Amino acid sequence: MERLWSYLSRFSRMTKEMTPSHRLDLLTDGLLNYGRRKSTDIGVVNKSKREYVLLLLHRNNIGLKRRAVDALNRKDRTLEESQMLHQEMRAVLNYLHLQHDLAKKAVENYHQPGLRSALIHHCKQLEKRFNLATDMFS
């Protein structure tokens, strides 16, 4: 919690003379950015911490059984694979959301009945894919 407040303290000078709703929006965006940044960096941080622990173990000649080290490696690999999967899922959801927005804008701009109905059908398919992907990744 202290890290969040430390991060948000930078906003205090900016938000001093804002309206409450604008201040709330800015702080919400700041927290979302902080959370996104931390979730993106978790794989790198985990890898560096793991390397540091292995260096300490090697330096201090602590006699761990090989199975314990292998279990640590397996857990680390599983975590990295899970992190990569989450990044891919976010990319798929963002792509589908972008395609859906583009198709909706195209529907609003075109007035030809045949083309408009084809675009509406395409929008519905994208909505189905987006909902399916959201259900799969939740």
> Structural domain of residue 89, as residue ranges?
80-138
pLDDT score of 64? 57
Residue 100 lies in a domain: yes
Q: Is residue 22 part of a domain?
A: no
**How many whole angstroms separate alpha carbon 96 and alpha carbon 118?**
18
Per-residue pLDDT, 62 = 56
User: Is 114 inside a domain boundary?
Assistant: yes
Which residue carries 């030809």 as its tokens? 112
What is residue 63's DSSP assignment?
A: -
Q: How many CB atoms lie within 10 A of CB 39?
A: 13
d(CA 104, CA 46): 41
Tokens of 74: 């397996």
Q: How many domains does the chain have?
A: 1
Token match 């990295």: residue? 80
Contact status, residue 100 vs residue 133, Cβ threshold 8 Å: no
Residue 101 placed within a domain: yes
Q: Would 56 be classed as within a structural domain? A: no
Residue 42 lies in a domain: no
Q: Is residue 19 assigned to a domain?
A: no
pLDDT of residue 7: 66
pLDDT per residue of the chain (138 residues) written in tens, 0 to 9: 566 667 667 766 676 677 778 777 777 888 888 788 888 888 888 888 888 888 877 766 555 566 677 787 888 888 888 777 777 777 777 777 777 777 777 777 777 777 777 777 777 887 777 777 777 665
Q: Are 126 and 117 within 8 A, CB to CB?
A: no
Domain presence at residue 5:
no
